[in-house]
Amino acid sequence: MESKIRIEVLFPEIANLYGDLANIEYLKKSYPELEVVETHLIGEPEFMKRVPSLIYMGTLTENGQRLATEKLSHYKEKLAEMIDGGVRFLVTGNALEVFGGKIEDTDGSVDMGLGIFPIHARRDMMHRFNSLYLGSFGGMNIVGYKSQFTHSWRDDETDDGDFESVFETYRGPGLNPEIKGEGIRKNNFIGTYVIGPLLVLNPPFAKWLLKEMGAGDVTLAFEREAMEAYEVRVKEYSDPDTGFYY
């Protein structure tokens, strides 16, 4: 019998930096009935056969971004159609840049993205950006980290249409240091630079996501301990004496 909730993880062999795959592990541990399927660089993506409850992609190397973009470019129309149709996506770290227009490197090179969202990233491999993150989502505090060589900007900064921010930032940068809006949200697509892993560090957000996927009110794996770690972190990040930039 087919499981009700299915998560498709895109390219776990390359999109796995900074503990990001623990996002899905945590959901699986919290809701063992859910099915996790992997789509690899070789072969046809699972979403071409059946639409899952959630498509997940985690942080990649710069070369990994190129490989993922090249692979997904063959399915760009289907991806855009799924996003427009409300299929749920969670994309963390620099994986969100794969869905943007391009990544401009300070060395003059340009990597093209899928062009689904009107954003472009600027990359400087000699300057790594590190910070803590504190924001909010639907009344929940969101905590996590930024650790990246890039930031992203809307192609037309005067036009805030087409997509919304995911998180409202209290401390730390948004999609870029000049704005407070963090991430890309369109229908059920959520893309954010915030890593942590995001769902492990933010149990209320993990619960919300499971509920959205149809799992109901789930008690998370080690929810009490996860909440205690979360509350300690929220308190720490809310303290003005806590430095935010590395």
* Interface residues toward another protein, by CB under 8 A: 13-14, 17-22, 25-26, 29, 40-42, 61-63, 67, 125, 128, 130, 132, 145, 147, 149, 195-197, 200-201, 221-222, 225-226, 228-229, 232-233, 236-237, 242-246
Is the CB of 51 or the CB of 244 nearer to another protein? 244
Which of 112/125 has CB closer to another protein? Answer: 125
Helix (H, G, I), strand (E, B) or coil at 209: helix
In the complex, the smallest distance separating the C-beta of residue 57 from another protein, rounded to whole angstroms, is 15
Distance CA 190, CA 89 (A): 6
CA triple 219-11-208, angle to 5 deg:
25
| Shortest distance in whole angstroms from residue 114 CB to another protein | 18
The Cα–Cα gap between 136 and 143 comes to 8
- Our CB check for another protein shows the closer of 48 and 125 to be 125
Cβ nearer to another protein, comparing 38 with 155:
38
Helix (H, G, I), strand (E, B) or coil at 71: helix
Closest approach of Cβ 130 to another protein, in Å?
Answer: 4
Nearer to another protein, 64 or 100 (CB): 64
What is the rounded distance in angstroms from the CA atom of residue 118 to the CA atom of residue 99? 9
| Shortest CB 86 distance to another protein, Å | 30
Beta carbon of residue 127, minimum distance to another protein (angstroms, whole number):
11
Half-sphere exposure of 138 (CA within 13 A, CB side): 10
Q: Is the dihedral of CA 97, 100, 105, 109 positive or negative?
A: positive
- Do you find a cis peptide bond into 197, omega within 30 degrees of 0? yes
Q: What are phi and psi of 195, to 5 degrees?
A: -115, 175
Neighbouring CB atoms inside 10 A of 177's CB total: 13
Give the shortest CB-128-to-another protein separation in angstroms.
6
Q: Residue 198, Cβ neighbours under 10 Å: how many?
A: 27
In angstroms, give the least distance from the CB of 113 to another protein.
Answer: 19
Of 50 and 128, nearer to another protein (C-beta) is 128
Which tokens sit at 72?
């997904």
Interatomic CA distance for residues 68 and 14, integer angstroms: 8
Q: 50 and 80 in contact (C-beta within 8 Å)?
A: no
Task: Tell me whether residue 93 or residue 101 sits nearer to another protein (CB atom).
Answer: 93
